[in-house]
Amino acid sequence: MGLFKRNRRGGAARLRTVRAMSFQTASVQGVGKRERQEDAFAFVNDRDVAMIKERGLLALMADGMGGMAGGAEASRTVIDEVSHAFSEFDMSGDLGLQLEKCALQAGAKVYAKLRGTGGSTLAAALIFNEKLYFSSVGDSFVYLLRSGELIRLNREHNLRADRRLEAIEAGHMPTGADGSIREGDALTRFLGMPDLDRTDRFLRPLKLSDGDVIMLCSDGIGGVLDAAAITGALSGPSASASCRAMEAAISRAGRINQDNYTALVIRCVY
């Protein structure tokens, strides 16, 4: 029902109804064929409507680097450090820059603790005033599903992606996936490496729309499922349904070397 007020002639004038966006959140995580879980994740404020309005909703996904002794400790350290730093954000300031700064500080903390024996990726998304900010390092994924179209918002920091970008900058247009690059999946940036000075992020936030679905995931999902499978899962009726569909798709894929997998889904609705 609309709101009304008296106009100067004594009649009733309809006030514009202001709608507030709300958010459904859900997550899915599995060990896959690995011996232990090295992914870590967190939602902050996702169940508190008042805090979302005052401080925003933060989602974090960190994938500890397999083969390194401290992968699990690195990913947990990243989640803890960024979550704590978020509590001190100046919400009137540049939120994208603050998100990047605390990610870099988390990386420095990982390096100080593990001295190169552990590292982690990070995909972080902050929603505030119905706008999306993100910061990412490594090969985890930040996706947006809008009007049926799946869009990857971040870039991968691995050798293959770096070589493709170098080719484009040199005026050569690469075509298709280049499997010829030896160790192409090797990360070129991660939290826990020395002297990391930037993340991938928006320079300006993205205005969110009704029906948008955001997903953060490790390469155990983004590197296994194709765009059609992810789009189908994220098109479900709820964030929880999307996570169930994602897990079912991973199971159907049946990879004998399935990595740890984690996905965080945020559905934006009026």
Determine the Cα–Cα distance for residues 234 and 151; give it in Å rounded to an integer.
Answer: 12
For the cut 50, the answer to whether the pLDDT of residue 2 exceeds it is no
Averaged over 150-175, what is the pLDDT?
Answer: 77
- Which spans in the chain are helix H? 49-55, 71-86, 95-114, 159-169, 219-222, 227-234, 239-253
Q: What is the pLDDT of residues 81-110, one digit of tens each?
A: 999 999 999 999 999 999 999 999 999 999
Mean pLDDT within 45-55: 97
Least confident of 3-12, 115-124, 200-209, 221-230: 3-12
Whole-number Å distance between alpha carbons of 251 and 32: 9
Is the pLDDT at 191 greater than 90? The verdict is: yes
- Give the pLDDT band (50/70/90) at residue 14: low
pLDDT score for 13: 58
Q: Region 236-251: what's the mean pLDDT?
A: 98
Contact 58, 263 (CB under 8 A): no
DSSP H helices, 87-237, are: 95-114, 159-169, 219-222, 227-234
What is the reported pLDDT for 111?
96
pLDDT at 1 over 50: no
The closest alpha carbon to 264, from 234, 237, 235, belongs to: 234
What is the pLDDT of the chain when averaged over all its residues? 90
pLDDT exceeds 60 at position 62: yes
Which of 120 and 157 is assigned the larger pLDDT? 120
pLDDT over threshold 60, residue 8: no
Rounded mean pLDDT of 71-79?
A: 96
Single pTM value for the model: 0.88
> Is pLDDT above 70 for 3?
no
Sign of CA dihedral 110, 111, 112, 118: positive
The first and second tokens of residue 50, run together, are 């008042």
pLDDT for position 207: 98
**What would the pLDDT profile of 31-41 be if each residue is shown by its tens digit?**
999 999 999 99
Query: Mind listing the pLDDT tens digit for each residue in 212-236?
Result: 999 999 999 999 999 999 999 999 9
Q: Lowest mean pLDDT: which of 115-119, 196-200, 235-239?
A: 115-119
Please report which confidence band the pLDDT of residue 158 belongs to, taking 50, 70 and 90 as the band edges: confident
pLDDT at res. 182: 53
| Domain edges within the chain | 19-269
For the segment(s) 19-269, the CATH number from 1.10.3210.10, 3.40.50.300, 3.40.50.720, 3.60.40.10 is: 3.60.40.10
Pairing of strands 200-201, 131-137: antiparallel
Distance CA 58, CA 7 (A): 42
